Amino acid sequence: MARRASAAQTPPAQGSTSSAACRRRSAPAGSSSARAPGQRRLPDSSAIPPGYATQQPESTLYTAPPRCARIAWYAAATGSITLIPWLGLSLEDAGFSRSEAATLLLALPVGRLLGGPAWTWVADRLGPDRILRWAAISAALCGLALLLARSPWLLALTIAGWSLSRAPLFPIMDASTIHALGRGYGPIRATGSVAFLLAALAGGLLRDRVSDAPLLLAVGLLWLTAAVSLALPPLQATPQGATHRPWRALVLRPGLGPLVGGCLLHGATLSTYDQLFAMHVDAMGLPAAATGGALALGVGVEIGILTAAPWLLQRLGPRALLLLGVASGVPRSLITGTTHSPTLLVATQALHGLHFGAFWVAGTTLFAGVAPPQLRNSTQALLPAAAFGAGPLLGLSLASAVLRHGDTQQLYLCMAAISALATLALLWAPRPSAPSAPSALSALSGHRSPTEPTEPSSTHRGRAPPRGEEAGERGCSPASVAVAGSSERGVSRARRTHPPA
């Protein structure tokens, strides 16, 4: 009894504060760690793989945009993409031939390939908010110039400027949304697909009355995107400082090359399939309504896949979901290139939900998982740069060569072979885990990294241990939580070894 009383009166050693007490401790008013309502603390560097970045000061705060603001942004920005399928017809209406229009449209993938990585690198240096607003305003101005330009050179410069301006928009917002919401990214991105479908249908109905109606609608959505971007609260800030060490760690990461290469090959099949599908339907002698019905079916399944993304990521994991999405291009292209049944051709477009929807949500999650904190936006830009920058250049160049000597059926058989190559390349994609720290990707997909502890401390038994962000929100650093957990386990082992009298 005397020993028990003396042990109860002994003050705890420094650093052995329990995690429960650490959660209850609140920061004093006026201290640097005090937070205003609606603000959250940046995640600590304890979840950063070694060699990536230095620790971010705990006093750095940010205000996360609410879900409704993100939904409004994705609806406006994704709806404005309807400018792309209508741009070729608008150029023909302006008097350009099909070959001239195709040459002008080559500025679109070139802008995505060059503008995305460049602008997102600047965003990682200066902060994503400033670049997001500048890019949104610049894209809206270039969209307005598209309605006024008539000379070929001015049109080429305007299209290139629009593509360069909008290139960083989705990587910056995707990186922020995935970091803030994790698996909740898919349903929010699905609202953009709904807006795209409605804008495409509205543009088609209005074009019969006003030839430039689809462009006017898309430009209006561009200005709405700029307005929402200006009204957004500050996004998740990224740690700033020297970026050569994180870039070196990212480039040398095993499996990153196959991941980027597989996404490039997949982008070649995806862009070629979608842009030449109407030509293939027309070559089969089917009415244009078959094209519209097939596209509507594909986008509808895509919306369902994106909405179900949290469940799919939790059950399959992002790597398996990415492989499923890319591999779906093999049967999709094979059936399209061999069937003569209109019903089967339209029904096959349901695979578009996997071909794009599963690929996109899994790809963004995987790139977010391998991104160093200092290069969160730059790493996310690698996906659209590969899939919708270099990919379309490769796919359309191959399509031009095949169509000189064959037809669209032979082209789709070539696309099936490229989809098989992309699937094989992605088998060497990086695993969703970090070498010696809890992986950000394991938090996004709901899977625990093999290197994470399998037995939580007594205070957190029954749920995962707190990550850096959660520990920061409770007013204590992850390091103190780890120290508290180790001290509690040490006390438990001492009690089991030397039970009190």
For the four alpha carbons of 275, 277, 280 and 282, in that order, the dihedral sign comes to negative
Residue 300, amino acid? G
Residue 296 is predicted with a pLDDT of: 82
Q: What are phi and psi of 41, to 5 degrees?
A: -85, 145
**Would you state the CATH architecture of domain 65-235?**
Up-down Bundle (1.20)
Condensed to tens digits (0 to 9), the pLDDT of residues 195-250 reads: 988 888 888 778 777 777 888 898 999 999 999 999 988 875 545 554 556 777 77
Predicted local distance difference test score (pLDDT) of residue 40: 45
What are 61's strand-pairing partners? Answer: 41
DSSP string, 225-236: HHHHHHHSPP--
**What tokens appear for 71 in the block?**
């939904």
Instruction: Give the whole-angstrom CA distance, residue 230 versus residue 414.
Output: 44
Spatial distance between the Cα atoms of 298 and 296, rounded to a whole number of angstroms: 5
Superfamily for domain range 253-446: MFS general substrate transporter like domains (1.20.1250.20)
Q: Give the whole-angstrom CA distance, residue 374 versus residue 371.
A: 8
The pLDDT of residue 422? 94
Q: What local confidence, expressed as pLDDT, does residue 90 receive?
A: 77
* 3-state SS class at 40: strand
- pTM (2 decimals)? 0.67
Q: Report the greatest alpha carbon distance in the chain.
A: 99
Locate the domains of the chain by residue range.
65-235, 253-446, 466-496
Q: How many CB atoms lie within 10 A of CB 415?
A: 27
Listed as ranges, residues in the chain with pLDDT below 70 are 1-64, 98-99, 236-245, 288, 430-501
* pLDDT for the residue numbered 286: 80
Q: Do domains 65-235 and 253-446 have the same CATH topology?
A: yes
Encoded tokens for 267: 């982008």
